[in-house]
Amino acid sequence: MKVFVYHTPELTPIDHLPDCAVVIDVLRATTTIATALNAGADSVQAFSDLTTLMQVSETWPPEKRLRAGERGGAPVEGCDMGNSPLDCTPDIVGGKRLFITTTNGTRALQRVEQSPSVITGSLINRQAAVNYLLHKQPETVWLVGSGWEGGYSLEDTTCAGAIADSLKQHTDKIDIGNDEVIAALALYHHWQDNLLEMFNQSSHGKRLLRLNCHEDLKYCSQIDYLDILPIQKEPSILVKL
């Protein structure tokens, strides 16, 4: 298994795709997706464009859909909810498809959606993602951070390091594909005992704190909290494995 880390979708190679892509947007898209599916959502469909989300979601019965929209960390007008995982309770999302668009995570999903296998990872379901990779043993793995509007994101690369660290602990059949893996491992080793403080220092963490999302940060900083793996069943549509 050859593992690569890419800080943003824009940094991934343009001429090929991996056997398995792990999309990471810790704050907050992939954390929210995992939480929604764990709470009983039927599926999650991701969109980079709000207009397209509105058009496609109109084809679903109102009682079977939820529109989740976020831009700049704040909820989007006209949607049922924003991008907070804390809103994904069974009574709200149970049995429904979540139509979601976010600033960064949904763009990363679109970049790799044609890969043979696409899963999403976050700190809360880190080990579930690792277990899938250990079971499937894909030849090449991309750990793709979503970043922030094309730029580097501390929390996504740290999460990539957390996944790589667990892989290394469970098997010696790991090849380091690029220097970014080594950097991600170093970041995780530095912050692993104080992930919430890492969020507090990161640019997007500070952005969310200004929006009074303190509880979101606490939730997102829990490692291996959920044993659930979102997996793409068709382009842009994720279900619980």
Interval 168-211: pLDDT, tens: 999 998 999 999 999 999 999 999 999 999 999 999 999 999 99
Number of domains in the chain: 1
Is pLDDT at 38 greater than 90 in this prediction?
Answer: yes
Our measurement of the distance from residue 83's CA atom to the centroid of its chain's CA atoms, rounded to an integer in Å, reads 12
Establish if 101 belongs to a structural domain.
yes
What is the percent of the chain with per-residue pLDDT over 90, rounded to a whole number?
Answer: 83
| Predicted local distance difference test score (pLDDT) of residue 72 | 77
Q: Are the CB atoms for 110 and 49 separated by under 8 Å?
A: no
Is pLDDT at 15 greater than 90 in this prediction?
Answer: yes
pLDDT tens profile 86-123: 999 999 999 999 999 877 777 889 999 999 999 999 99
Is pLDDT at 76 greater than 90 in this prediction?
Answer: no
Q: What's the angle, vertex CA 54, arms to CA 49 and CA 56, rounded to 5?
A: 95
| Predicted local distance difference test score (pLDDT) of residue 168 | 96
Is pLDDT at 69 greater than 90 in this prediction?
Answer: no
185: containing domain: 2-235
What is the percent of the chain with per-residue pLDDT over 70, rounded to a whole number?
Answer: 100
| Predicted local distance difference test score (pLDDT) of residue 100 | 92
| Predicted local distance difference test score (pLDDT) of residue 107 | 83
Determine how β-strand 65-71 pairs with β-strand 74-75.
antiparallel
Establish if 148 belongs to a structural domain.
yes
Determine how β-strand 140-145 pairs with β-strand 2-6.
parallel
Establish if 117 belongs to a structural domain.
yes
- The CATH number of residue 175's host domain is 3.90.1560.10
Nearest CA among 176, 25, 5 for reference residue 110? 25
pLDDT tens profile 130-167: 999 999 999 999 999 998 888 899 999 999 999 999 99
Establish if 240 belongs to a structural domain.
no
Output the six-digit token pair for 27.
Answer: 């704050």
3-state secondary structure of 107: helix
CB atoms under 10 Å from CB of 229, counted, come to 21
Is pLDDT at 42 greater than 90 in this prediction?
Answer: yes
Q: Give the residue-averaged pLDDT of 57-69.
A: 92
Q: Give the residue-averaged pLDDT of 69-87.
A: 85
